[in-house]
Structure 1
Amino acid sequence: MHVDRASGLLSGARQCPSPNADARPDGAGIELIVVHGISLPPGAFGGPWIDHLFSNTLDPAAHPYFAAIAGLRVSAHLLIRRDGAPVQYVPFHRRAWHAGVSNWRGRERCNDFSVGIELEGSDDTPYADAQYGALAAAIGALRAAYTIPAAHLAGHSDIAPGRKTDPGPAFDWPRLRTLLGDA
């Protein structure tokens, strides 16, 4: 995988542009990678629902859970499906709306200076082997393109404690750090 700095796009990723993005604040660089977990409906994998959520086309009648979230305006830079296939919603140089109310090392508004990577999964279901490989490759490409230090990696639960739990206890942080060469 490779990140083209000019376009902010990841090679090999399917592009599914989200309207839920905007310019980063002046002077804001990419300093943090945030790992998330998502499944729609909760606990179910596959299907078009994440694409629909991030493109504001989620049909509230398609599943009872969707009625409560259909009006959300959220996005992520990247999703890694269970089979390891990457889907990009927002170019990395733009601000995706993934972190919400957040704080990392005393800095609020993590969306301003972070990249959000969603893994198709849930807090209590082990993530797939292919996802760890694809996540490590994506993080490696991001680190190379934007010079992000190894220590600047967090879970959604780390930047929004008490509000968010993902990627959850099923996520194997030591495994990811070993794949990244950070262990």
Structure 2
Amino acid sequence: MEDKQPLSGWWSGARQVVSPNCDARPDEEVSLLLIHAISLPPGEFGGGAIEALFTNQLTVGEHPFFAEIAHLRVSAHLLIRRDGECVQFVDTDHRAWHAGRSGWWDARQLNWRTALNDFSVGIELEGDDVTPYSKAQYNALTEAVVWLMARYPQLNADRITSHAHVAPLRKTDPGPAFDWVYFRQRLSSRLE
């Protein structure tokens, strides 16, 4: 189900696989980046299950866990695999369905915001809470964020957070295995 789209919110650094799990953003600026983690089946890397989930093609019989999640209609803008390959599912100008029930204190607007999908970009890292992320993933994430920050002026380093931070009672990703200090150092050096 790969498809090249001539839309401006498609990053040239990513392979494109179009997800139907998206819709138009309301008239909101893109001003938040949420970093997630996913492995399917849980704790296993590689294979096509993540792409199948985000394109509603997950085969229930391939793993017992898939029966629990096959009904979900979810997506992310980008997935960064363990080897650094980027896969883009949703044009960043559109709303991907990645944040779920969540909330975030917006210091810029001095208010508590919900409906985070309306104004955020979601990047999934292939990983889990305990397995260290690869250098290739940090490199690809840094390049993707540099592109996003150039594209969306309201997005800056202070507006990058984790899924765990916006949904602390439901989510833990990208987990303690994600090295925020290392990522922020890499991003800072690229933005200088």
Shorter-chain TM-score tier:
over 0.9
Secondary structure at 1:154's aligned position in 2? strand
For 2:171 and 2:99, locate their aligned partners in 1 and report how far apart those are by CA, in whole Å. Answer: 9
Deviation string for 1:83-110 (max 9, x for gaps)? Answer: 0000000000000000001111111011
Runs of 4+ in 1 over 2 A off after TM superposition: none
- State the identity %: 58
* Residues 1:123 and 2:129 aligned together: yes
* Residues 1:55 and 2:62 aligned together: no
Q: How does 1:74-113 map to 2 (within 5 A)?
A: 74-105=74-105, 106-113=112-119
TM-score, with length taken from structure 2: 0.90
Q: Pick from 168, 171, 174 the counterpart of residue 181 of structure 2.
A: 174
Question: Which amino acid in structure 1 is aligned with residue 172 of structure 2?
Answer: T
* Residues 1:144 and 2:150 aligned together: yes
Q: Which runs of 5+ in 2 are unaligned?
A: 1-5, 106-111
TM-score, with length taken from structure 1: 0.95
* Residues 1:163 and 2:151 aligned together: no
Question: Which amino acid in structure 1 is aligned with residue 28 of structure 2?
Answer: A
Q: How does 1:36-51 map to 2 (within 5 A)?
A: 36-51=36-51
* C-alpha contact 2:90 2:96 (8 A) present in aligned 1: yes
For 2:104 and 2:56, locate their aligned partners in 1 and report how far apart those are by CA, in whole Å. Answer: 28
Residue 7 (structure 1) shift: 2.3
Paired position in structure 1 for 2:18: 17
Deviation string for 1:5-63 (max 9, x for gaps)? Answer: 952100121100000000011x2110000000000000000000000000000001010
Deviation string for 1:124-159 (max 9, x for gaps)? Answer: 110111000100110011001111121000000011
Secondary structure at 1:22's aligned position in 2? strand
Q: What is the number of residues matched between the two proteins?
A: 178
For 2:115 and 2:45, locate their aligned partners in 1 and report how far apart those are by CA, in whole Å. Answer: 29
For 1:110 and 1:159, locate their aligned partners in 2 and report how far apart those are by CA, in whole Å. Answer: 9
Question: Which amino acid in structure 2 is aligned with residue 71 of structure 1?
Answer: H
